[in-house]
Amino acid sequence: HLVGRGRRVIAIDNLVNGKRENLAQLPADRARLVTADVRRPDEFAAALHEAGTVFPLACLGVRHSLHSPRENRDVNEGGTSAMLAAARAAGVSTFIHVSSSEVYGASGAGALTEDAPTRPTTPYAEAKLAAEAHARAAHAAGGMRVVILRPFNAYGPRCDHEGDAGEVIPKFLLRALADRKLVVFGDGEQTRDFTWVEDTAAGIVAAEIAPSASGQTIN
């Protein structure tokens, strides 16, 4: 999305979940990959000196947090703290912190607004909420504009269907294509909010350029 708007992008990824080939269709003069771990600023700090805005999307997901809670917190909370400090030191002007709707927990309250209670039910959600606190503190300290976003479930091209990152929509699609029954847990009456990935990307970028978003927490 950013490259399509004429921006130059540096992707920082340790390739635990990401894939180098996902960037293959992008022009080399507009997008480059720095292979680094979000927890280790010495691996990526130099790249931040070229950046005006940071979009921290690195995370390990919900299911990973259930069997590896310490590593999950190290990435989702500790990685955010490390990235905030490195971004400030590099003179980055804008930090669009990408949190998660998971911080609300299993609310059962229908449509959620930003002032709904946050009741994390997994180590992932707990770490995401803690990372928000780091981002708010960084904004309050001044010197860097911070926006906190809480996207809901994204789906679209290259969705994972295997392992910890496997999601329900690609799993449903694969089972349907194989003429197998879809697996539904519970009574099937539960609801989730799914957003097309291109709309999620557009929303994240819109928060970067909207002056009124500064310091806000936005679903």
- Encoding tokens for residue 168? 């329900």
Strand partners, 53: 94
Q: Report the candidate in 18, 101, 92 with the shortest Cα–Cα distance to residue 55.
A: 92
> What backbone phi and psi angles, to 5 degrees, belong to 146?
-125, 135
**138 contacts 89 by C-beta, under 8 angstroms:** no
Is 155 among the catalytic positions? no
**146 contacts 136 by C-beta, under 8 angstroms:** yes
- Which of the residues 124, 148, 151, 200 is marked catalytic? 124
Containing H/E element for 3? Answer: none
Instruction: Please list the active-site residues.
Output: 124
